[in-house]
Amino acid sequence: KEASIHENDVPIPKIPSFDFSPPPYTGPSADEIMAKRREYLSPSFFHFYTKPLNLVDGKMQYLFDENGRRYLDAFGGIATVSCGHCHPDVVEAIVSQTQRLQHSTVLYLNNAIADFAEALASKLPGNLKVVFFTNSGTEANELAMMIARLYTGCHDIVSLRNSYHGNAAGTMGATGQRTWKFNIVQSGVHHAMNPDPYRGMFGSDGEKYAKDVHDHVEFGTSGNVAGFISEAIQGVGGIVELAPGYLPAVYKTIKNAGGLCIADEVQAGFARTGSHFWGFEGHGVVPDIVTMAKGIGNGIPLGAVVTTPEIAEVLTRRSYFNTFGGNPVCTAAGHAVLKVIEREKLQENAFKVGSYLKQRLVELKDKHDIIGDVRGKGLMLGVELVTDRELKTPAKAEIMHVMDQMKELGVLIGKGGFHGNVFRITPPLCFTKEDADFVADAMDYTMSKM
Ligand code: PLP
């Protein structure tokens, strides 16, 4: 017993029990894979940990390394695994569709594609019912911005500082963080002040920040814009919740300027925020275009743009299509994900477990000065580390240490934010209360030893 108690009374946390053993791994070691990666993979990739991790198996909220060691996946891929790694229903949907037909395009009819489009449309409010499938979130946002430009005949788009919308020409321009930009394509994007309650100059007063969008329209455009794009909670930017009242005020400004409002639901959609299926619903707005990816396919490459029939009409001006978007294997997976979220009540679980975990993290903030802020909704939570609470100095080195130590204890957690000092907790939505306790206990234990 003594051995498991640290001198400051925080016990070493134990990973919750879980009834699954992966098959033995006989492949190359982490070092061998790392050598291949250095030689053959793009040097733009980086890895999270001081010692790279070779992941071999996944089961629900757990991942296994080459030695069969189990880790709790508190990052959910990258907010991607919605219903659990290798969820049996999703695996079954993929396998059975693969055995019948692996590929079809929009040139032909296929029920796996049409059926999922119908199911997806039923989850959206208003007249948002026309679906265009893509392969990623980037592609979905590129298309959404193009639709807004075509529909309005304008080029100017307003996006937010600290946002992330993708890595192709247009979306890299819309993204508002220097880390993710190459400064090649930026044209026509105005980056408005971020309504960040923790770091922003107006605190939680959403309407004051919204005035900045109004000013961008007034001073930086002809008075008309193509649209506005925003996440409901910024993910890559460090789980930043937009100040209350911000989106309704901005949507009004944009509509008055003739623009379309695009909700980037790539991270916040698909039940992750718990209180609602879509993040924008938590702000009481209805967008003109909704983009999604990540959680829609539980890790399978799939994205979508959903808009109204009237707006979608602009795409008939050309033969706009892509080869793989709406691949039947991917849409079969997406449909299975939707059914699992509903049947297993994962939105309710995200709300319940997420609220519990947030409360535990808020308690840790009272105990550890290094925690500057705890925020987020459902199972989309952020913990910002600072070395000085007054000055909000980003704790960049410290976060790496905590992350490495939590990995040693068996927790994989995400990291992000403009300064790279924010923990991102976006696990599979099947996370349990015991899992939440394990994350909080591992963080507490690690911080207690610093
Ligand atoms: N939009 C948001 C909010 C994202 O978080 C991301 C990726 O992290 C993207 C768009 C781009 O998605 P993808 O990486 O699938 O292209």
* Cα dihedral 80→86→92→94 (10° resolution): 50
Amino acid at 154: C
Check if 264 has its Cβ closer than 6 Å to any atom of ligand 1: yes
Check if 73 has its Cβ closer than 6 Å to any atom of ligand 1: no
What ipTM did this prediction achieve? 0.99
DSSP for 244-293, please give it. TTHHHHHHHHHHHTT-EEEEE-TTTTTTTTSS-SSGGGGGT---SEEEE-
Check if 268 has its Cβ closer than 6 Å to any atom of ligand 1: no
The whole-angstrom separation of Cα 246 and Cα 209 is 7
**Tokens of residue 37, six digits:** 């990666």
Check if 394 has its Cβ closer than 6 Å to any atom of ligand 1: no
Cα of 164 from ligand 1 centre, angstroms: 7
**175-195 pLDDT per residue, tens:** 999 999 887 776 799 999 999
- pLDDT of 176 reads 95
- pLDDT of 8 reads 63
Cα of 158 from ligand 1 centre, angstroms: 18
- In the three-class reduction of DSSP (H, G, I as helix; E, B as strand; rest coil), residue 56 is classed as strand
**Tokens of residue 66, six digits:** 């080459």
**Tokens of residue 439, six digits:** 């994350």
Nearest CA to ligand 1 atom 13: 137
Amino acid at 35: A
Amino acid at 47: H
Q: For strand 157-160 and strand 227-231, is the pairing parallel, antiparallel, or unpaired? A: parallel
Cα of 294 from ligand 1 centre, angstroms: 7
Residues 6+ apart with CB under 8 A from 438: 13, 14, 15, 16, 72, 410, 411
The whole-angstrom separation of Cα 90 and Cα 93 is 5
Residues 6+ apart with CB under 8 A from 78: 294, 414, 426
Q: Are 413 and 425 in contact (CB under 8 A)?
A: yes
Bridge partners (DSSP) of residue 297 are none
Residue 239 CA, chain-centre distance (Å), reads 9
Check if 149 has its Cβ closer than 6 Å to any atom of ligand 1: no
Check if 444 has its Cβ closer than 6 Å to any atom of ligand 1: no
Check if 80 has its Cβ closer than 6 Å to any atom of ligand 1: no
For residue 23, the 8-state DSSP code is: P
User: Which of 138, 229, 290 most suits a substitution to test ligand 1, by most atoms within 8 Å of the C-beta?
Assistant: 138
- pLDDT of 377 reads 98
Residue 373: which of 421, 331, 333 has the closest Cα? 421
The whole-angstrom separation of Cα 161 and Cα 408 is 35
- pLDDT of 186 reads 67
User: Which of 45, 267, 289, 424 most suits a substitution to test ligand 1, by most atoms within 8 Å of the C-beta?
Assistant: 267
Closest approach atom of ligand 1 to CA 136: 15
- pLDDT of 2 reads 40
Closest approach atom of ligand 1 to CA 303: 15
**33-66 pLDDT per residue, tens:** 999 998 998 887 777 787 889 999 999 999 999 9
Check if 267 has its Cβ closer than 6 Å to any atom of ligand 1: yes
Check if 138 has its Cβ closer than 6 Å to any atom of ligand 1: yes
DSSP for 192-241, please give it. EPP--TTTSTTTT-HHHHHHHHHHHHHHHSSS--SEEEEESEETTTTSEE
User: Which of 289, 294, 300 most suits a substitution to test ligand 1, by most atoms within 8 Å of the C-beta?
Assistant: 294
Cα of 109 from ligand 1 centre, angstroms: 29
Check if 165 has its Cβ closer than 6 Å to any atom of ligand 1: yes
Q: Name residues of the chain where pLDDT drops below 50.
A: 1-6
The whole-angstrom separation of Cα 5 and Cα 8 is 8
Closest approach atom of ligand 1 to CA 268: 3
Radius of gyration of the chain (CA): 22
Nearest CA to ligand 1 atom 14: 137
Cα of 156 from ligand 1 centre, angstroms: 21
Cα of 193 from ligand 1 centre, angstroms: 21
